Chain A
Amino acid sequence: SQQGEEDPQALSIQEGENATMNCSYKTSINNLQWYRQNSGRGLVHLILIRSNEREKHSGRLRVTLDTSKKSSSLLITASRAADTASYFCATGSTGGFKTIFGAGTRLFVKA
């Protein structure tokens, strides 16, 4: 079952612009995570936000979580060509082992 759904499916921006990706999910969660995947490689964990948090920052990344709307957003500020990758949200349920991933957003940053 697919829990998270990212929006948009693909995003193309110029270097220096901000990129915003959204994620919606269906069931109760204890945390939400964002991962990055360079083409043909494994996923790398970017940031985790817990269900009792509303906003979290890490460098150029800003994540928000709205549990009432079951949604999250990932903002990458001042994007760089090296940010070109696919970005996935993933959710973990309370007491569970599974981490469920969405289909991802493909970000392309033009130099």
Chain B
Amino acid sequence: DVKVTQSSRYLVKRTGEKVFLECVQDMDHENMFWYRQDPGLGLRLIYFSYDVKMKEKGDIPEGYSVSREKKERFSLILESASTNQTSMYLCASRRGQGNEKLFFGSGTQLSVL
């Protein structure tokens, strides 16, 4: 089975800090995604990447950036964390094209104080 690993289960950061969320997948998937999940809003796409060094904005990219230097690793960066970025962050990966099924990590619950 595909394994998608997120580096932290829980994170507590202070306003203004630079935050790195790391995600690694072990199945050579081309596509990787970062979502945030908030109660009542479902999952919203922040950024995705379809190849190494390639990235595309999702629906809510403001305040975030991403890095994909290696195929297996996709990092989400909060340049200057704010309290409204307190959320559950979910990384996912998928092979090829065609909107096939996503494989998710366990999530990182980020609290910004």
Contact = CB atoms under 8 A, between A and B. Distances in A.
Contacts of B42: 2, 4, 88, 101-104
Interface of B is mostly: strand
A35 B103 CA distance: 10
A48 interface: yes
B101 A101 contact: no
Contacts of A102: 42
B99 A44 contact: no
Interface string B75-113: 000000000000010101010011111111111010000
Contact of B100 (A35, A48, A104): A48
A89 to B, nearest CB: 10
Nearest to A47: B101
Interface string B40-63: 111111001010000010110000
A33 interface: yes
B41 A103 contact: yes
A96 interface: yes
Interface residues of B, number: 31
A73 to B, nearest CB: 18
Contact of A45 (B59, B98, B102): B102
Interface string A39-75: 0111111001000000000000000000000000000
A18 interface: no
Contacts of A92: 98-100
B107 A99 contact: no
A13 interface: no
Nearest to A92: B99
B31 interface: yes
23 contacts: A2-B41, A2-B42, A2-B44, A31-B100, A40-B88, A41-B107, A42-B105, A43-B104, A48-B100, A88-B42, A90-B102, A92-B99, A92-B100, A97-B48, A97-B56, A97-B97, A98-B58, A98-B99, A99-B45, A99-B99, A100-B45, A101-B42, A104-B42
